[in-house]
């Protein structure tokens, strides 16, 4: 769920998605030169990363995990 996938074959190491995340979910692995999903539990599905990725490597699922308690 949440930010589900960063396609390693597509990722060009530009770090745009790392900057774009308002929850510090995505980090950068200097060794592999790829972005990695590190704290998916904090993803709020804002879609910034997928929207900004210049090579279409990111996929965001719209459901948060863990789910937020609904008002009712």
Partner 1 sequence: MAEKRLKTDVLVIGGGLAGCFTAVTAREAGAEVILVEKNYCGKTGNSHFARDYMLFKEEWGDNFEEWMSQFDMIGEHIVDKKWAEIILRESYPRFRDLVNWGIPFYLKEDSPNVKREVHYGLVDIPDKIGFPAPEEEPFRYAFRQTKYRKHGRTCKYGERHKMMIARRRVLKSGATIIDRVMLTDLIKKDGRVIGAAGFHTVTGDFYFIEANAIVIATGSLSFRGPAFGTQFNAGDGMIMGYRIGAELTGMEFGNGMYVVRDCESVVINGPVSEIGKTRDEIVNGLGEDFLGTIPHIPVNILWPIEVHKGNGPIYHEAYNIDREKFKGALDKYNKTAEGPWITMLDRAGLDIFKDRFQQYVGVRASSKGSGLRVNTSCETNIPGLYAVGDASGTNYSGPTYVALGSGMAGACITGYRAGINAAKFARESNQLEASPEEIASLKKTVMNPLERKSGFQPDHVLMRVQQSILPYEVRIVMHGKRLEAAITMFEFFRDHFVPKLQASDSHELRNAHEVRSMVTGGEIMLRTALFRTESRGWFFREDYPRRDDKNWLKWVMVKQDEQGKMKLWTEDVPKEWQGDLSLPYEERYPLQYGYGEE
The reply on whether position 20 binds partner 1 by CB under 8 A is yes
The reply on whether position 38 binds partner 1 by CB under 8 A is yes
- Of 22, 32, 54, 55, the residue at the interface with partner 1 (CB under 8 A) is 22
* All residues at 6 or more sequence positions from 60 whose CB lies less than 8 Å from its CB, including other chains: 2, 3, 4, 43, 45, 47, 49, 50
- Of 6, 21, 37, 53, the residue at the interface with partner 1 (CB under 8 A) is 21
Is residue 65 within 8 Å of 46, Cβ to Cβ? no
Question: What is the C-alpha radius of gyration for the chain, rounded to an integer number of angstroms?
Answer: 12
The reply on whether position 40 binds partner 1 by CB under 8 A is no
Interface residues with partner 1 (CB under 8 A)? 19-24, 27, 38-39, 41-42, 44-48, 51-52, 61-64, 66-72
């Amino acid at each position: 769920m949440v930010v589900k996938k960063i396609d390693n074959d597509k990722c060009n190491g530009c770090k745009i998605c790392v900057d774009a995340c308002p929850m510090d979910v995505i980090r950068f692995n200097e060794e592999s030169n790829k972005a990695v999903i590190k704290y998916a539990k904090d993803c709020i599905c804002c879609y910034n990363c997928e929207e900004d990725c210049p090579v279409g490597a990111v996929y965001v699922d719209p459901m948060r995990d863990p789910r937020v308690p609904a008002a009712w």
